[in-house]
Amino acid sequence: MKKRFVMRVLLIPFFLLLGIFSAQSNPLTKMQPLQDTSLRAKSVYVEYGGPSAIYSVTYDTRFTRSNNGWGFRAGVGFLPSQGINNISVPVQVNYLLGSTRHFFEAGAGATFFHGNQTNSWFGPQKEGSLVFGSLSAGYRYQPLQRGITVRVGMTGIAGPFNNNSVAALPHISIGYRF
């Protein structure tokens, strides 16, 4: 009886350790790295709101081979208003704070806007062009390698529209990281 008890006490930890070490050496059970540093994160997404005013298609990339840190985004947007399509070109430098897939995103930039501001929410001005500044903050879900990207947050814009106004716009976007 004592011999069985000793054998159980010795064999159970032995088999537990054997299982743990064999699982760690098996390539199928190894954990994926928390950060894929082989490629820089690049995304294309469609956005509602944000620095382009209403609708936009935007390209976003990191400056380094990382999923987070400093990056750049540029896009083309349009603001339909009473049958007139106003065009915008938002450009921002942004920073992603976080690890793995969930990030706080902060950005600053400028947007070139051309169209008929008289018939848009930009106010009682004539047809022409203007540039306004933007500050953005929000949440970003971005996969480690390829997949769906989601962003949601707020963007503040300030410029020479509607008697030098400041406006806060929500933004939501969905895209693809490649």
Residue 110 is predicted with a pLDDT of 96
If asked whether residues 115 and 141 sit together in one domain, one would say yes
- Residue 36 belongs to some domain of the structure: no
If asked whether residues 22 and 48 sit together in one domain, one would say no
- Residue 34 belongs to some domain of the structure: no
- pTM equals 0.74
Q: Could you give the C-alpha distances from 178 to 55, 76, 109, in angstroms and in order?
A: 22, 20, 24
Name the DSSP letter for residue 28: T
Residue 167 is predicted with a pLDDT of 85
Say whether pLDDT at 129 is over 80. yes
- Residue 10 belongs to some domain of the structure: yes
| Rounded CA separation 164/131 (Å) | 11
pLDDT class for 4, splitting at 50, 70, 90? low
Structural domain span for residue 3: 1-29
Burial of 173 (0-12, 13-18, 19+ CB in 10 A): buried
Give residue for tokens 């081979």.
65
- Residue 35 belongs to some domain of the structure: no
Residues 6+ apart with CB under 8 A from 122: 86, 113, 130, 161, 162
Mean pLDDT along residues 40-66: 93
Residue 52 is predicted with a pLDDT of 86
